[in-house]
Chain A
Amino acid sequence: MNAPLRRVAISVLVLFTLLIINVNIIQVVRSDDLRGDERNTRVLAEEYDRERGSIIVSGNEIAVSVPTDDRLEYLRTYPQGPLYAAVTGYYSLVYGNTALERAENDVLSGEDSRLFVRRIADLFTGRDPAGGDVVTTLDPAVQEAAMAGLEGVTGAVVALDPSTGAILGMASTPTYDPALLSSHDPEAIRTYMDEITGTDAPDPRVNRAIENNYPPGSLFKVIVSAAALQEGYTPETVVPAPDIMTLPQTTQQLRNFNNSRCDPSQQQRLIDALTISCNTAFAQLGIDLGEDKIRETAAAWGLDDEKMEIPLLVAPSGIGDIESDAALGQTSIGQRDVRMTVLQAAMVAATVANDGVQMKPYLVDEVLAPDLTVIDETDPEELRQPISAEVANQLTEMMTSVVARGSGRAARLPGMEVAGKTGTAQVRPDVADHNWFMGFAPADDPQIAVAVFVANGGGTGGDVSAPIARDVMAAFFEGRG
C-alpha cells in the first residue's frame, strides 16, 4: 500500500500548494483592488470611526464631523455647504473625496506625519486618534459677496491678498450642497448626484476658478503692455490705433469692439489704448514686439502651461502655439489659443498690485492638531517677479485709468481709486462672449486683488463682471471696518 500512499501524500502537497497560490493571488496580486474596492467598507469604516478634522473659515467650521448613532460613527456635515462647496469639496461614501477634503485628507483623517507624535501618544492614552483641523485663508465677507454676485450665472471669482498670495475668496457657480453627497445613505447620494449632473446644465462639481481655463480676451493686454513698458515704451508713447487692421499675410480684418473707432487720428497713447481696450493698437503692438517677447513675458507672469497646487490642483494657463504674425496679433488681444484660469487672472492683477512680485497663492493658512495647537503655518512665498516695481507703477497708472474713465467704470468704489482691466472674450460666433474683470484696490496701497469670470455672460466685461468685482471689494473693505 506504500506506493499509492506516497502518491496521496504528493497529491495533498499539490492541493495545499493550490491553496497557497490562491491565497497569494488574493492577498498580493488582487490585494490593492480588493482593498480599494468601493464596496469594501473596511478602510472606509475605519476612517468614519475617527473624528475627522474640521475645515475652518475665520473661526467657523465649514466642514465638520458630528457623531451619529448609525453604523458609521461620524457624519460629515457642511453648515454652509453651497457657499463653500468649491473649496471644501465633498467626502462621499460613494464618490470619494474632492477639493480640500481630498488635498488635505492626511491632516483631516489624522494620518499626516506632522500629527504622528500625537498619534503615538494616543496609543498609550487609549484615545481614539482624531484628525487635525485645516484653517483656510478665506474671508467670509468676500466669499459671500462673490457667491451673491455670481447668483444666476455660470462663472467664478477669485480674490487674493496681493502681498501674501492668501486666497480671500474662491467661488464657482453653479454650486451644490456637499452635505448631500456626504451622507451615510448611498442611495440618496446617487440620487442627488444624478440630480446635479444628469442634465444639460453646467456641472456644479467643477470649480471654475481653477479647474478650467478660458480665453481671457482683453485681460491679456495688460501683459502685452508690460512687455512694451519693459522694452522702453511709456504710458505716454503713441502707438498706431487704426479703425480696421488687416492681419499680416492674410486678408483677415481685425476690428475693434462693436466696430468702434479708437481714435480719429488712427493713433493714441498706450494708456489710452488700454483705457478703452483698443484691439488694433494691441494687435499691432504685439506684432511689433515679436512672438519671443510676448511668449517670454507671458511665461514670466505664469502663463507657462504648468500646473500648480494651492493645494487644490490648478489647471495650467498659457498662450498656445503661434504660427504666424496674424496669429500673434490675435494672441495679443487674448484670443486665439490664450487660456487663463480665473485664479491666474487674479494673480496677474495681484502682481501689478504687489510692485511686480507674484506671490504663491495658498488656501490653507494653518494646520491645527486635535487639541487646537498650531502645528503648521503657511509662510507667504514669492513665486516670481515678472516686472520691476517701476513697470508695476506704470501699469497701475494705466489700469487706474481703465476704471476711472474707461471700460471698467462699473468697478469704481467711493473714496478710493480702483485699478483694473475688463475682458470680453469671443468663444464661438454662435455663443455669447465670456465676460471678465480683474483689478485691485486701493490703487495706491492695494489690499485685495480680484478676478471675476462670467461664462457666456452675453455683455461686456465692463458691464457684467466689473460690478461683481466692485461688490466683492466693497464687502472686503466693509468687513475690515
Chain B
Amino acid sequence: MPGPVTDPRGQVATDTPTRRGTEAALLGFAVLITVVAQIIVDLTVTGHLRPEMAGFSVWITALWVVAHLVVRRWASYADPLLLPAVALLVGLGLTVIHRLDLAAEQVNSTVTREDAPVQLIWATLGVALFVALLVVVRDHRALSRFAYTLALLGIVLLALPAVLPASISEVNGAKIWIRVAGFSIQPGEFAKICLVVFFAAYLVDKRDVLALASKRVAGLELPRGRDLGPVLLAWILSILVLVFERDLGSSLLLFGIFVVMLYIATERASWLFIGLLLFAGGALIAYQAFGHVRARVDTWLDPFAYIDGAGYQLVQSLFGLGTGGLFGAGLGGGRPDQVPVAKSDFIASAVGEELGLFGLVAVIVVYLVLVERGLRTSLVVRDAVGKLLAAGLAFAIAWQVFVVLGGVTGLLPLTGLTTPFLAYGGSSLVANFVLVALLVRISDAARRPVAPHATPVRLGDAPTEVVMP
C-alpha cells in the first residue's frame, strides 16, 4: 500500500486518500476473528455457546465502530493500520483470558469470578479515553505546553506506590500497585506515557545543546561532561524505581526509551554508547546488590535447575510453547492454565501453546506492524515534537513487547512487564489506549494535506495581492 506522496520539502499532495475505508474493513476483519475465536473456545471447552456470546459480539463491534467513527470525524487522515492492529490484539487477549477463565472453572467449579468481562469493561474505558483524547487534543503540539506538568505527574505516579504502605502497593514482591476498593491500578503504566511526552518536549528544546560534541574518542563524538545531566537523571530515576519498587521491567523500559529518544533527538550515537555503559553499570550493581535481580538472572540462565522454585513459571511456559509446537493445541485444546498467572504476564505462552508457532509469530508481526506504522508516522510528521513523541511512543511499545516476550520465551530475564493490549490488567490496557490515541493523533497530522496557504512563498515571487482560491 503506497503511503502518502511527499515532495522533497515534506509537503503532502492534496489528493491524499484518507484510507478510512481500509481501516473499516480491517476493523471488521479483527472483529470477525475475535468473535470466531470466542465461539471456538466455547465450543471446544464447554461444548456449547455461552448465552452472553451475542451480547459480547454486539459490544465488541460497537466498541470499534465508535472508535472508527471518532477517528473518521476527528482524525480523518490517521494511519489506517494502527486501530485495527490494536483491535486484533485486544480481541485475541479477551479470547485467551476468557479461555483461561473456563480452564479455572473446570479445575474448580466453585470459582465464579471471571476476568474476561472485567477486561472488556477496561477495554471500553480504554476506547472512551481514546475517543476523549482525540476529541480534546486536536493538535499534539499543544501537549508540549504541559511538558513539565506531565513530568511532575509522571514522577508522582511512578513514586506513589513506593511511598505508599506495602499493604496497598505490594503484590508478589513488586511495589508497583495502588489497590483501592477492589481496584488495582499500576500507575507506572500512565507514568510511562507522561514521561515520553515530557522527554519529547524537553529533548526538542535542548537537543542543540545535547548534540554538541566536545571530544572525539575512538571514533565517537562524546558530549560535554556538563550535558550528561539529563541522562544521569533518567538513570538515577530508573535505579530508584528498581530499588524502591523492585520493578525491573519499568526500570529497564524507562531508561531504554529515554536513551533511544535522546539518540533520535541529537542524532549522536555516542548517547547510545553512554546509555549502554550506564545500563551495564546499573545492571552490575543491581545484580550484586539485589537478591531478586540475581534470582531473576540465575533463573533465566538455567530455568530447569530451579524448576521447583523460581524457575517453575518459566519452565511451564517453555513446556507450553514446546507442546504447542508449530500449529498449537488449538484454542481450548491445550493446558495454558498450567502456567501461573497466564492471564497477565504469561499470556504470550498461552497464545503459543494453543495457536502454535504460527499464532505467536502472527501476534509478534501485528505488534511489529503497530510499531513500524508508529515509526513511519514519526518519519513523515513535519514538526520535531511530533516526530520525537511518535518515535518515543512507538519505541515504548516495541521495547516493552521485546522485553516481555523475550522474558516469557527465555530470551531475556523475566521482568514482569505486561504485554500491551493482550494481557489482563486494566491500567496497562487503558494506558496503552491513550498511547495509541496519541499515535493516531500524530499520524493524522502527518498525513493530512498541507493547506495551500501554509506554503511559504518567496518574497521576490510574491504577487502584491494574494487571491485565495
Contact = CB atoms under 8 A, between A and B. Distances in A.
Contacts of A26: 318, 321-322, 352, 409-410
B264 interface: yes
A35 B323 contact: yes
A2 interface: yes
B378 interface: yes
A19 B323 contact: no
B388 A34 contact: no
Contacts of A16: 364, 367-368, 371, 398, 401-402
B269 to A, nearest CB: 8
A4 B267 contact: yes
Given A9-B372, A26-B409, A42-B335, A15 B322 contact: no
A6 B267 CA distance: 11
Interface in A120-140: 126
A440 B395 CA distance: 84
A38 to B, nearest CB: 11
B368 A24 contact: no
A30 B367 CA distance: 25
B58 to A, nearest CB: 27
Contact of A5 (B361, B391, B406): B391
Interface string B400-413: 01100110011100
Q: Helix, strand, loop or mixed for chain B's interface?
A: helix
B75 to A, nearest CB: 22
Nearest to A4: B264
B379 A2 contact: yes
Contact of A22 (B260, B335, B368, B409): B409
A307 interface: no
Contacts of A42: 319-320, 323, 334-335, 338
Given A1-B267, A12-B368, A39 B322 contact: no
A5 B411 contact: no
Nearest to A33: B322
Contacts of A372: none
A362 to B, nearest CB: 36
A40 B357 contact: no
Contacts of A19: 364, 401-402, 405-406, 409, 411
Nearest to B304: A39
B406 A40 contact: no
Interface string A157-168: 000000000000
A47 to B, nearest CB: 12
B307 interface: yes
A148 interface: no
Q: Helix, strand, loop or mixed for chain A's interface?
A: helix
Interface string A1-43: 1111110110011011011101110111011111101011111
By CB atoms of chain B within 10 A, which of A3, A8, A22, A37 has the most?
A8
B323 A43 contact: yes
A45 interface: yes
A20 B307 contact: no
Given A34-B323, A40-B319, A22 B379 contact: no
Interface string B200-243: 00000000000000000000000000000000000000000000
Interface in B286-326: 307, 315, 318-326
Contact of A27 (B265, B326, B398): B326
Nearest to B327: A27
Contacts of A40: 319, 322-323
A371 interface: no
B158 interface: no
B152 interface: no
Interface in B131-190: none
Interface string A36-59: 010111110110000000000000
A1 to B, nearest CB: 5
Contact of A28 (B325, B371, B391, B409): B325
Contacts of A18: 402, 406, 411
B398 A39 contact: no
B47 interface: yes
A31 B352 CA distance: 12
A9 B357 CA distance: 24
B322 A5 contact: no
B387 interface: yes
Contact of A126 (B47, B264, B318, B325): B47
Contact of B357 (A1, A5, A24, A45): A24
B405 A1 contact: no
B364 to A, nearest CB: 6
Contacts of A33: 322
A234 B320 CA distance: 71
A41 B411 contact: no
Given A8-B375, A12-B395, A12-B398, A27 B319 contact: no
Nearest to A123: B47
B84 interface: no
B263 interface: yes
A294 to B, nearest CB: 54
A381 B312 CA distance: 52
A119 to B, nearest CB: 14
A33 B405 CA distance: 21
B315 A8 contact: no
By CB atoms of chain B within 10 A, which of A24, A37, A45 has the most?
A37
Contacts of B409: 19, 22-23, 26
Nearest to B319: A40
By CB atoms of chain A within 10 A, which of B322, B334, B378, B401 has the most?
B322
A241 to B, nearest CB: 68
Contacts of B364: 16, 19-20, 23
B356 interface: yes
Contacts of A24: 357, 361
B435 to A, nearest CB: 16
Given A5-B391, A34-B319, A27 B356 contact: yes
By CB atoms of chain B within 10 A, which of A15, A26, A35 has the most?
A26
B334 A39 contact: no
Nearest to B320: A42
Nearest to A37: B319
Interface string B351-386: 010001100110010011001100110110000100
A443 B367 CA distance: 81
Contact of A1 (B307, B338, B356, B387): B387
Contacts of B391: 1, 5, 8
A28 B387 CA distance: 40
Nearest to B360: A23
Contacts of A37: 319, 322
Contacts of A30: 318, 322
Contacts of A20: 361, 364
Interface in A321-358: none
A9 B318 contact: no
A174 to B, nearest CB: 34
A34 B264 contact: no
B114 to A, nearest CB: 22
26 contacts: A1-B265, A1-B267, A1-B384, A3-B267, A4-B263, A4-B264, A5-B378, A5-B379, A12-B395, A13-B372, A15-B402, A16-B401, A23-B321, A23-B352, A23-B360, A23-B361, A24-B361, A30-B318, A34-B321, A34-B322, A35-B325, A42-B320, A42-B338, A45-B335, A46-B335, A126-B47
In the A-B complex, the 5 residue pairs with the closest CB atoms? A34-B322, A27-B357, A40-B319, A126-B47, A9-B375
Given A2-B379, A8-B260, 6 more contacts: A1-B387, A12-B375, A16-B368, A16-B371, A19-B406, A42-B320
Interface of B: 47, 260, 263-265, 267, 307, 315, 318-326, 334-335, 338, 352, 356-357, 360-361, 364, 367-368, 371-372, 375-376, 378-379, 384, 387-388, 391, 395, 398, 401-402, 405-406, 409-411
